[in-house]
Amino acid sequence: MGNTCSNLGIPPAKGPHPVGCTDFMMDHTEKGSFFRLYYPCQESEKAEKPDWVPCREYFNGLADFMKINRSLSERIFNYLFGSFKIPAYMDAPFRCNGKCPVVIFSHGLGAFRTLYSAICAELASQGFIVASVEHRSVGVCGFVLTCTNLSYPLQVKQRADECILALDKLAEINSGTPMQNVLQTQFDWTTLENSMDMCRIAVMGHSFGGATVIEALCKEVKFKCGIALDAWMHPLDDEIFPRVKQPIFFINSEKFQWAGNISRMKKLDSAVIQRKMITIRGTVHQSFPDFTFLTGNWIGKLMKLKGEIDPELAIDLSNKASLAFLQRHLGLERNFNQWDPLIDGEDTNLIQGTNVTVLQSAI
């Protein structure tokens, strides 16, 4: 039995569209594609919200990643998180007027495809189709946790390839190509034919997923811009920085970043390509995944899952700033530009740029 505290839970999306979700797995091999898809949907009385953690193997995977005992951690994780639901309806029918822009989302190290549902569901509620990739380098592969022992620079390249493969699969689905989904969900994939605007595509990710954003932008020009949430820049080779030609938005937490990491972000500064950075006051590294909403204040701060700021306010600022940036660089005709000031850190809870002092000589 999971944590049933009534004031805990992943916040519902705020956009005009109800949100559906489904899973796609191409095959069980390491070269396949596996992602959770979030999309605008029809409201349906039959549709149910899925569990936040898809199955118990994920608890074991988290325990292995954290190097703690499986049997003990499974009971703890199940108590804390076992009852929570994703703020989206599983396999609900797709519905949207006009074509949807596309976002590919990359999770952090040791995470998996469902842990950023507050971000992905919000984007879907605003009319995006979002594929949250489950990476095979360190994650759950066919529901069995695997670690390929790749070095971080090799992992980030593999992760970028997995993001590009997910995009390729969406392009095939959009074109009406019949797709085999080994998970055999109830979702009708044919309804997504001609639903996506394949000229308006962005890539987004957190931590190691933030580094994946930079690598993916370098590898695939179909990504028109990238949003890196509290990016961990270590896996990236310096030589790719001048090859990235798309706009990038760094949204950082106040407590995670350090001078060496920020200096690598600043190597991407450009006089001709928009590169933006803001920092959200009172946030920690885990202010972006859903964990931050699912623990009480004492446990959350003890486990460094919560900062000093209200977690819903923090994710709202991040989501609104992201939407404004996506409108600007995907050429969308929406009302997200009402949040343009957030891109420049114009809010009492934001810092323009960084709170970290970086010597110019380090850049």
Query: Which residues are catalytically annotated?
Result: 207, 230, 285
- Element at 330 (helix H, strand E): helix 311-330
Report DSSP letters for 155-217, one per residue: HHHHHHHHHHHHHHHHHHHHHT-----TT--S--GGGGTT-EEEEEEEEEEETHHHHHHHHHH
Q: Is 78 exposed, middle or buried (0-12, 13-18, 19+ CB in 10 A)?
A: middle
- Cα 63 from Cα 84, distance rounded (Å): 19
Q: Is 122 exposed, middle or buried (0-12, 13-18, 19+ CB in 10 A)?
A: buried
Report DSSP letters for 244-263, one per residue: --S-EEEEEETTT--HHHHH
- Cα 91 from Cα 76, distance rounded (Å): 29
The residue to which tokens 């590898």 are assigned:
219
- Cα 222 from Cα 168, distance rounded (Å): 10
Q: How many CA atoms lie within 13 A of 139 on its CB side?
A: 27
Sign of CA dihedral 166, 167, 173, 178: negative
Report DSSP letters for 147-168, one per residue: E----HHHHHHHHHHHHHHHHH
The answer to whether the CB of 232 falls within 8 A of the CB of 253 is no
The answer to whether the CB of 349 falls within 8 A of the CB of 321 is no
- Cα 204 from Cα 264, distance rounded (Å): 18
Is 274 in a helix, a strand, or coil? coil
Is 324 in a helix, a strand, or coil? helix
